[in-house]
Amino acid sequence: MNIKLIKTEQDYQLALQRLEAIFDAEQNTEEGDELEVLSFLIDAYEKEHFPIEAPDPIEAIKFRMEQLGIKQKDLAEVLGFKSRVSEIMNKKRKLTLEMIRNLHKRLNIPTNVLIQEY
């Protein structure tokens, strides 16, 4: 087992090739241990070099509404008046802290998504 830190794109590509070669290794074997360590190294490199940004708060709300089969008028309970819901969904009004808390509690949308600028 010759594992090293992944510092360059070339290191990353070589690590991916090695991972593919030992992908079916059994646990508690030398190759199994190498697979586990290599997975952590690849994950760390990808998080640093290919970060996934959180979605736009309004798009996240729309997506969650679609998942739950909720209509815009149903958000009036969570956000206030129907006109306020419309303003928020059209990005003409910002979410307040209370709205963010309610959306998190009722729709289970992570607060770190809802607090972003849009």
Per-residue pLDDT tens over the stretch 15-72:
999 999 999 999 999 999 999 999 999 999 999 999 888 789 999 999 999 999 999 9
- The pLDDT score that the predictor gives to residue 80 is 84
pTM, full prediction = 0.58
Asked if 78 and 103 count as a contact pair (C-beta separation under 8 A), the reply is: yes
- The pLDDT score that the predictor gives to residue 44 is 94
For residues 1-28, average pLDDT: 92
- The pLDDT score that the predictor gives to residue 1 is 67
| C-alpha triplet 112, 54, 92: angle, nearest 5° | 80
- The pLDDT score that the predictor gives to residue 54 is 78
State yes or no: pLDDT of 81 exceeds 90. no
- The pLDDT score that the predictor gives to residue 20 is 95
Asked if 79 and 102 count as a contact pair (C-beta separation under 8 A), the reply is: yes
The two counts, helices (H) then strands (E), for the chain are 7, 0
For residue 42 the two structure tokens come to: 């690849």
Instruction: Compute the distance between CA of residue 54 and CA of residue 42 in angstroms, rounded to an integer.
Output: 21
